[in-house]
Amino acid sequence: MANQKVDLIRKIYSKTEYPKIIDTKFSQLGVVSLNEQIDNTVTVSQFFEYYNELFYDIPSLGEVNSHEYLIKTSGDYINFDQDSDEIEALRKEITQLRRDLLQAQIGKAEALSGEKIDIDVNSIDDASIAGDDFANITQAISSPSTNTTNSSPSVNTTNLSPVGGGATSTSGGGY
Give CA–CA dist 83/143, Å, rounded.
Answer: 39
Query: d(Cα 92, Cα 100) in Å, to the nearest integer?
Result: 12
What does the pLDDT look like over 126-154, one tens digit per residue?
777 777 777 787 777 776 554 433 333 33
Query: What does the alpha-carbon distance between residue 80 and residue 136 come to, in Å, rounded to a whole number?
Result: 34
Work out the average pLDDT over 153-168: 40
pTM above 0.75, yes or no: no
3-class secondary-structure state, position 157: helix
Distance, CA of 81 to CA of 123 (rounded, Å): 30
Q: Is 141 helix (H, G, I), strand (E, B) or coil?
A: helix
Please, what sign has the CA dihedral across residues 25, 26, 28, 30? negative
50-106: pLDDT as tens digits: 999 999 999 999 999 999 999 889 888 887 776 677 888 898 899 999 999 989 988
